[in-house]
Amino acid sequence: MTYHRVLTRPRPQALRPNSFWLLGPAVLLLIVWTQIPFVLTLYHSFRRFNLLNPERQGFVGFENFASLLTDPIFWTAILNTLVLVGSVLLITVAVGLLLAVLFYQDFPGRALARTLVISPFFVMPVVSALIWKNMLMHPVYGLFAWIAEGLGQRPIDWLATYPMQSIVMMVSWQWIPFAMLLILTGLQSLSKEQLEAAKIDGANAWQEFRYIIVPHLAQTLSVVVMLETIFLLTIFAEIYASTSGGPGLATTTLPYLIYLKAFGEYRIGVAAAGAVFAVILANIVAIFVLRMIGRNLQGGRT
Amino acid sequence: MRFWQVLLACTGLLLSTALAQTTITIATVNNPDMITMQKLTPEFEKANPGIKVNWVVLPENELRQKVTTDIATNAGSYDVLTIGTYEAPLWGKNGWLVEMSGLPASYDLEDVLKPVRAGLSYQGKLYALPFYAESSMLYYRKDLFAAKGFTVPAQPTWTQAINWARQLHNPSGGVYGICLRGLPGWGENMAFITTLVNTYGGRWFDENWRPQLTSPEWKRAIGQYVELVTKYGPPGVTGNGFTENLTLMSEGKCAMWIDATVAAGYLANPKTSKVADKIGFAKAPVAVTPNGAHWLWSWALAIPKSSKKVEAAKTFIAWATSKEYIELVGRTQGWVSAPPGTRYSTYNNPNYQRAAPFAKVVLDSINTADPTKPTLKPVPYTGVQFVGIPEFQAIGTQVGQFIAGIVAGRTSLDNGLAQVQAAVEKLMKEAGYIK
C-alpha cells in the first residue's frame, strides 16, 4: 500500500546527527562570547593585580574576597543596591500598572500620548542623568529650584540632600514606560466580555480593577518584575553621571563599587572579586523571583 | 572592469595621502587654555603640513581615568597625554613615558621655570613639557571689600579670610561670601583641602606612613572648611569643581575665591568675565604655617611609550610649549590669556606685565610652593596638594567623597573622619606601606 504512505503527512524531522554538528560553530561562538569574560574575571579575582604597581602581581587565593567581605563599604553597597532595585520596582510597577489601565481606554489623542509616555525609555541613561542633574535638580540653575523660589521656598539641593531618592526618581522615570508597555500587552489579552459581565453584575471601576484586571495580570507582572530586576541590578550610568556614588557612600551600589575598585584604585583583582559577588547576588535574587513566578504561573491556571 | 579600476585608483590615492600624513591623537582637559590651544591648531598644521591633530577633550576626573587606564594597559589610543606633576614622576619611574630629550637649542629649556621642570622629572630626567603651571591664590572683589572698608594685605591669614566671608555673605543680594571647591576628586576638592590641612599644621601621613586623618589639625581644618562652604558658600557646593566656581566668580556671584592662579587670566579678561575690572589678587591665606598653603601644579604634555608617532608628537609638544606659541596667544587672544607659569621670558615680557596685573603674585606663589617641604612636620612623601604615591588617586578620591558627605550633612565630622581613616589604613596595609 505504497500510495497510502505517500498521502499521509510526513513525520517531523528528528534532530539527526548532521544537524547537531551544523549547530556546532554557533554554539561554540556563544560559549566563547559569554563565558570567556566570566572565566577571566574569575581568574583575576584570585590574583593581586594593581595596574599602577604591576611588579606586585601574584596569586593570593581568597584574599580579595576577604578584603571585600571585611570592608564596611561593601555591605553598604549591597544595601544600596537592594534599596535601589526594590524602590524602582515598586514605583515602576505601580505607576506602570495605572498608566497601562489608562491607555487601555480609548481617548482622543491616545496614540500621541502613548508615544510621549514611551519616549523616556529611549533616552540614553547618561544624557538623562545630566539633564536631571543640571537642568532640573540644580539648586541654582535648575527648574525645580525655580519652581521652589516661585512658591517662596528655599530650593532643595536634591543630589546632596536626597541622593538615593534622586537616583530612584531618575531610574523610575526611565523604566516606567517599560513596565507600562509590558502590562499593556498583558491587558490586551483580557477579554472585554469578562469586563462587561462584571459591569452587568454591578461592579464599579475599582472592583473591576481589583478582582478582574490585577489577577489576570499576575503572570505579566511577574515577568515585568523578573526582567526589571535583572537590568536594575546593573544600573551604573545614572549614578556615574550625577552623584558619582556620593555624597559619602549614599549612592554607591555594587556595580559602582566595582567601577571604583577597577578605575579609581586600579585594583583589578579586587574589582573582579566584586564582580563575582555581583553574579552571586544576581543569582540569589533571580532564584527568589523565579520561585515567585513559578507559584504565580501555577496559581494562574484555573 | 571599469568600476574596479576606479576603486583601485581611489584606494591608491587615499593610501598615498594617508601615508604622507600622520595623525596624532591628543587627550586633554577642558580648561580654557587647552581650548585655546585647540583653536590655534590650524597654525600648527600650517607650519607642519604632514601632521594632523585629533583632539579628545574631557573634564579632569574623566581625563585622568581614561589616560591612566590607557597607559597602564598599554592600549596606545593616544600619542600626546595631558598629565600633571603627580603623574609625570610616577609614570617616568615606571618607564611608561618617552623622555623629553633632544630638544632643539631654540626651545631654550633653561627658560622653563625651575620648580616646574623639577616637578615633571624623575631622577633628573624630564618626562613632560609644561603647558601651563599654576599655584593657588585668593581672588576677591575689590568693590565689595572697599564698600565694607576691608583692605587685603599681600599675605592674608585665614582668620581674616573667615571674617571677610562672614561679613560679605549676602545671598539675597546674589553674592556668596566665599566660593570653594566641593566636587569630590583627589584633584578637585582635595587639592584645596590638602593645602588647608597643610597650612593648619596637618599632614596626610606620618614618617611611618600611618594616616593622620583623625589628628586635631585635620579636625580643625575640615571643620573650618565645612563651616565656610555650608554657611558662607553657594548652594550645591558638592557639585562645584574648578569650572563651576570659575563660572560663578566671573558672573560676580562670589565675594572671594581661593583656587588656581590660572583662572586669573580668565577673570581679568573683559571678554570672559563680567567683573574683569573688579578683581583683586593676593596670596592664598595662611594659618599656622606657610608651608603648603598654596599648591604647585602643572598641566604638561607627555608621550606614552606605546605611541607609534613619537617624532610627530614631540614636534607638536615642542610647538605648544614654546616661546613662539606664547607670543601667538598673546597676539591673537590677548596677553592676559597667555599660558602662565611656564617660562621666565613670559614674566619678563613688558606686554604681559602690562596686561596681567596678577603676574607678580602668580610668579611669587609658584616660586614658593615647595613639594619637598609641604608640611609643618616631616613627611615621607613629596607633593603639596597631593601625595606622590600611585595609591593616592584612590585615597584622595575616597576622602574627597567622604568630606562631601560631611558637607551634605550625611555624617558628622568625627564620624566621617573616623570612617575614612579606617578605609585609608586598610588600603595602605593592603598596598604594603604599613606592616
Q: Is B348's pLDDT higher than 60? A: yes
Say if residues A254 and A277 touch (Cβ distance below 8 Å): yes
Instruction: Give the end-to-end CA distance of chain A in Å, rounded to a whole number.
Output: 47
Res. B246 pLDDT band, cuts 50 70 90: very high
Q: For residues B302 and B126, give the distance between their C-alpha atoms in angstroms, rounded to a whole number.
A: 10
Indicate the length of chain A as a whole number. Answer: 302
pLDDT of residue B17: 54
The second-level CATH assignment, the architecture, of B136-294+364-431 is 3-Layer(aba) Sandwich (3.40)
User: Pick the residue with more confidence: A17 or B161?
Assistant: B161
ipTM of the complex: 0.75
Q: Is B405's pLDDT higher than 80? A: yes
Instruction: Report the percentage of chain B scoring pLDDT > 90.
Output: 70
**Are B411 and A159 an interchain contact pair (Cβ–Cβ within 8 Å)?**
no
Q: Which of B397, B405, B431 sits opposite A247 (nearest CB)?
A: B405
Q: For residues B116 and B131, give the distance between their C-alpha atoms in angstroms, rounded to a whole number.
A: 10
Count of other CB atoms within 10 angstroms of residue B125: 14
Identity of residue B114: K
**Are A161 and B409 an interchain contact pair (Cβ–Cβ within 8 Å)?**
yes
Residue of chain B minimizing CA distance to A63: B430
Give the residue range(s) of CATH 3.40.190.10 domains in chain B.
17-134+297-356, 136-294+364-431
Query: What does the DSSP 8-state code read for residue A213?
Result: I
Best mutation target, A47, A166, A265, to test chain B (most B CBs within 10 A) = A265
Q: How many CB pairs under 8 A join A and B?
A: 102
For the residues B381-401, what does the mean pLDDT come to? Answer: 91
Q: Is B130's pLDDT higher than 60? A: yes
**Are B390 and A264 an interchain contact pair (Cβ–Cβ within 8 Å)?**
no
Q: For residues B415 and B219, give the distance between their C-alpha atoms in angstroms, rounded to a whole number.
A: 11
Sole residue written with cell 611609550: B305
Q: For residues B112 and B109, give the distance between their C-alpha atoms in angstroms, rounded to a whole number.
A: 6
Q: For residues B171 and B176, give the distance between their C-alpha atoms in angstroms, rounded to a whole number.
A: 6
Pairing of strands B22-29, B51-58: parallel
* Nearest-5° Cα angle at B384, B378 to B386: 105
Sole residue written with cell 535601589: A84
3-state helix, strand, coil in chain A (%, to 5): 75, 0, 25
**Are B393 and A264 an interchain contact pair (Cβ–Cβ within 8 Å)?**
yes
Identity of residue A145: A
Q: Which residues of B touch A71 (CB under 8 A)?
A: 423, 426
Residue of B345, B63, B297, B88 whose CA lies nearest to B185: B63
Helix (H, G, I), strand (E, B) or coil at B137: strand
Which range has the worst mean pLDDT, A78-82, A212-216, B41-45, B192-196? A212-216
Say if residues A272 and A42 touch (Cβ distance below 8 Å): yes
Helix (H, G, I), strand (E, B) or coil at B27: strand
What is the crossing angle of helices A72-104 and A163-188, to 10°? 40
Best mutation target, B238, B244, B249, to test chain A (most A CBs within 10 A) = B238
Residues contacting B219, CB < 8 A, separation 6+: B413, B414, B417
What's chain B's average pLDDT? Answer: 91
Say if residues B59 and B30 touch (Cβ distance below 8 Å): yes
Say if residues B56 and B109 touch (Cβ distance below 8 Å): no
Mean pLDDT by groups of 10 residues along chain A of 302 residues: 55 65 90 92 92 81 91 93 93 93 90 93 94 89 90 87 94 96 90 85 84 83 88 93 84 94 88 94 84 62 44
Residue of chain A minimizing CA distance to B397: A264
Q: Distances from the Cα of A260 to the Cαs of A238, A254, A257, B199, B425, in angstroms?
A: 15, 10, 5, 30, 18
Q: Which of B72, B390, B408 sits opposite A247 (nearest CB)?
A: B408
Cell of A237: 550610568
pLDDT of residue A109: 92
What domains can you pick out in chain A, each with its CATH number? 49-300 (1.10.3720.10)
Residue of B198, B202, B207 whose CA lies nearest to B380: B207
Say if residues A249 and B400 touch (Cβ distance below 8 Å): no
**Phi, psi (5° rounding) for residue A252?**
-85, 110
B17-134+297-356 placed in CATH 2.70.150.10: no
Task: Tell me the torsion sign for CA atoms A83, A89, A95, A98.
Answer: negative
Distance between B130 CA and the closest CA of chain A, angstroms: 23
pLDDT of residue A301: 46
Q: Which of B234, B404, B408 sits opposite A140 (nearest CB)?
A: B234
Q: For residues B79 and B305, give the distance between their C-alpha atoms in angstroms, rounded to a whole number.
A: 9
Distance between A84 CA and the closest CA of chain B, angstroms: 18
Residue of A31, A38, A89, A85 whose CA lies nearest to A272: A38
**Phi, psi (5° rounding) for residue B190?**
-70, -25
**Phi, psi (5° rounding) for residue B131?**
-90, -50
Indicate the length of chain B as a whole number. Answer: 435
Q: Which residues of A touch B427 (CB under 8 A)?
A: 265
Q: Is B11's pLDDT higher than 90? A: no
Cell of B249: 566668580
Residues contacting B429, CB < 8 A, separation 6+: B435
Q: Is B123's pLDDT higher than 80? A: yes
Residue of B200, B273, B196, B193 whose CA lies nearest to B238: B193
Cell of A139: 539648586
From chain A residues 114-133, the ones with a CB under 8 A of any chain B CB are 133
**Are B236 and A157 an interchain contact pair (Cβ–Cβ within 8 Å)?**
yes
